[in-house]
Structure 1
Amino acid sequence: MSVPFRVPRRCLWLVVLVLALAGCSSTVSIDAAEDAADPRCADVMLALPPVVAEHEQRQTDSQATSAWGDPSQVVLRCGVGVPGPTTDPCVTVNDVDWVLREGDPAWTATSYGRDPAVEVLFDPEEVASSTVLVELGNAVSRVEQTRACVGLSEAIPPPTG
């Protein structure tokens, strides 16, 4: 007489719960950046926090991308074009420089002085830019900084005379 294998009831509920939670959030479709395959992007991706601005990280369908929130409140792509000198605002948050571009409704923050660059899209009406940039700064700092933001007084030498 054989004894059938039985799964303890509490384990069965755990399996059902895990499967249900996995199916609750759809995969976010994001276009990969041109240099998404850069190995330094892997360093960034491995260091990303599971929660940004109180939003849980979600699955994405492209290399070197991430998103938080459902619907997505913060979207990140590593391997975007490295910004050159610009008149757009450049801010430093926890030793990471970011070029900010206001959009309607999403703003774009692109790491400055790091190759590959990281781009973050977010709506400042939904999540605070300071929170997003602080919480992603540690991961972005995995890419070495080779240039820094400068102010107008630093970019143009004062007149001599």
Structure 2
Amino acid sequence: MRRALPRLPALPALLAGALVLGCSACATVRVPAGEDAADPACAQIVQDAPEQLEGQSRHATSSQGTLAWGSGDEAIVLRCGVAPPGPTTQMCTTLTDADGTGVDWIIDEDGSSDGIVRFTTYGRTPAIDLTVPREVVGDQASAAALDLTDLVTSIPAERHCLGADDVQ
């Protein structure tokens, strides 16, 4: 009489279990998607984004078109596909990297107690929103936006910031 061998779990099930156990310390950063997160330009942004930003490692996020470096409340978060801002009286400035490439950003630094500086691209569709916790970067919040200049310029600029001197 032939004895039946015990049935072993399938290899894919074993691998999936190992991934779950191996990633139990991984934390997915919960980020709401922008309304146009499905724009192909956002997929390219996510694909081309650096693994490190301001000394923080890239972490998984919960939504399409989003990125996070760091975890929890201390994560630098990028959301592609947010509504492009129209003309505004908020601070709009061009941040230029060492190569002379510039990106126009609306900077919202309202002094709120959350310690977050928010940058939103101006004149690009889809727009990108970048939140930078001061806890992570100190007084150098713009460094994160500058480090993403090459990434952001893959979306062409259609308009630029204007100052009082630009208007007649």
TM over 0.5: yes
Q: Which amino acid aligns with 1:87?
A: T
Give yes or no for the alignment of 1:82 onto 2:47. Answer: no
How many residue pairs align between the two structures? 140
User: d(CA) in 1 for partners of 2:162 and 2:91?
Assistant: 10
Asked if structure 1 preserves the Cα contact closer than 8 Å seen for 2:29 and 2:71, the reply is no
TM-score by length of 2: 0.76
1:24 CA displacement: 2.0
Contact kept, 8 Å, 1:35 with 1:78, in 2: the verdict is: yes
Paired with 1:74 and 1:137, the residues of 2 have a C-alpha distance of 15
CA distance in 2 between partners of 1:124 and 1:149 (Å):
25
Aligned mate of 1:113, from 96, 111, 123: 123
Greater shift in the superposed pair: 126-135 or 75-84: 126-135
Which string of whole-angstrom CA distances, capped at 9 and with x for unpartnered residues, describes residues 8-41 of structure 1?
xxxxxxxx8xx64x33221111111100001111
Match of 1:100 among 57, 82, 107: 107
Q: What secondary structure, in the 3-state scheme, does the structure 2 residue paired with 1:82 have?
A: coil
Identity of aligned residues (%): 37
Q: Deviations over 1:35-71 (max 9, x none)?
A: 0001111121112111111000000111000111133
C-alpha RMSD over aligned residues: 2.0
- What is the alpha-carbon distance in structure 2 between the residues aligned to residue 73 and residue 133 of structure 1? 14
* Equivalent-residue separation in structure 2 for 1:56 and 1:69 (angstroms): 6
2:75 is aligned to 73
Query: Are 2:73 and 1:61 equivalent residues in the alignment?
Result: no
Tell me, which stretches of 5 or more residues in structure 2 are unaligned?
1-17, 97-101
Number of the residue aligned with 1:35: 36
Q: Which runs of 5+ in 1 are unaligned?
A: 1-15
Equivalent of residue 132 in structure 2, options 118, 122, 126: 122
TM-score, normalised to structure 1, is 0.80
